[in-house]
């Protein structure tokens, strides 16, 4: 009888041990899974934080100090051409925010880039685009209204004595197939030009046009284009040519090269 009791006690003890061990293992597994989940969540938060561009803000006073002291900088106005002409900071380069990604090659690296718009919305968007594309000294000044409230000067563009003529895509095609001596100039980026340009057009970036005037004859009709009326590059280029005494300057309006392609007019791809 005693042996039986001992055997039963051993069986009960072993069963209890196995049950207790299993509970511990499950508890450890649950803890480990929770810790892993927490670590994963933390890593996800850290990764998200790393991916979020950090925009450095600058006051109008700080921007004015950099400009007036002649420190190496690039001043970027991301408003529309009309807004720019109504008043901009002296020396500012105009690249509307919706053209910025296509014109990054016009912005120097290694300089302090000060971005502004009217009230701060577009300048922040532009600053994020620049940071995401590897520019590392980007400062968002916000709106030019803050600059003006501080009494700092702005430049208002004077109208040129000459004037370029805006023509439709169909009118430019008539010139293309006609017998007049002409030259089409694509003022978009090299990448945009290579994707598709008007047959026979040459590519001169708007930022380079005043340095390459020797390549542009004065005795021909000059037709300048980019992506249409909403694209400021072609009007800027046309104005530069007018100011350099070119007299037969046309700018393609509408949707520019986009509309030209949609109509099935001749294009070249590189």
- pLDDT higher than 60, residue 188: yes
Question: Phi and psi (nearest 5°) for 238?
Answer: -60, -40
SS3 70: coil
Radius of gyration of the chain (CA): 32
- Give the domain extent around 96: 56-149
175 and 136 both lie in a single domain: no
- Mean pLDDT to the nearest integer, 55-71: 93
| Burial of 179 from C-beta contacts in 10 A (0-12 / 13-18 / 19+) | exposed
Average pLDDT, the chain: 83
For the annotated catalytic residues, the residue numbers are 117
In-domain check, residue 2? no
pLDDT in tens, 207-252: 899 999 999 999 999 999 998 766 788 988 999 999 999 989 999 9
- Mean pLDDT to the nearest integer, 58-72: 93
How much is the pLDDT for 207?
87
One DSSP character per residue, 100-142 reads GGGGGGGS-SSSEEEEEESSSHHHHHHHHHHHHTT---EEEEE
In angstroms, the Cα distances linking 56 to 100, 113, 216 are: 19, 11, 41
In-domain check, residue 189? yes
How much is the pLDDT for 49?
46
In-domain check, residue 28? no
How much is the pLDDT for 158?
59
CA–CA gap between residue 221 and residue 62 (Å, rounded): 46
pLDDT in tens, 136-162: 899 999 999 889 888 888 887 655 446
In-domain check, residue 33? no
> In the chain, pLDDT over 90 holds for what percent of residues?
57
174 and 86 both lie in a single domain: no
- Mean pLDDT to the nearest integer, 165-187: 93
How much is the pLDDT for 15?
52
Q: Can you give the CATH number for the domain in which 185 is found?
A: 3.40.250.10
How much is the pLDDT for 45?
43
125 and 197 both lie in a single domain: no
Instruction: Output DSSP code: residue 155.
Output: B
């Amino acid at each position: 009888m005693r042996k039986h009791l001992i055997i039963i006690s051993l069986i009960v003890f072993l069963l209890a041990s196995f049950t207790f061990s299993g509970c511990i293992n499950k508890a450890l597994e649950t803890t480990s899974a929770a810790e892993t989940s927490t670590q994963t969540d933390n890593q996800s938060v850290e990764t998200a934080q790393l991916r979020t561009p950090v925009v450095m803000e600058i006051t109008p006073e700080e921007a004015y100090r950099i400009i007036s002291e002649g420190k190496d900088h690039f001043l970027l106005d991301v408003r529309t051409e009309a807004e720019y002409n109504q008043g901009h900071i002296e020396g500012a380069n105009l690249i509307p925010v919706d053209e910025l990604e296509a014109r990054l090659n016009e912005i120097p690296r290694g300089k302090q880039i000060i971005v502004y718009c009217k009230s701060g919305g577009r300048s922040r968007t532009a600053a994020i685009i620049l940071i995401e594309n590897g520019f590392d000294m980007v400062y968002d000044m916000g709106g030019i209204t803050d600059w003006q409230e501080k009494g700092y000067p702005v430049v208002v563009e004077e109208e040129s004595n000459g004037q370029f003529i805006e023509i439709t895509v169909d009118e430019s095609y008539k010139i293309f197939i006609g017998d007049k001596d002409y030259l089409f100039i694509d003022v978009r980026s090299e990448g945009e030009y290579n994707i598709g340009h008007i047959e026979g057009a040459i590519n001169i970036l708007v930022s380079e046009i005043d340095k390459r005037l020797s390549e542009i004859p004065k005795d021909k009709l000059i037709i300048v284009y980019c992506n249409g009326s909403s694209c400021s590059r072609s009007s800027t280029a046309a104005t530069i040519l007018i100011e350099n005494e070119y007299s037969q300057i046309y700018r393609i309006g509408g949707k520019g090269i986009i509309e030209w392609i949609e109509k099935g007019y001749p294009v070249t791809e590189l």
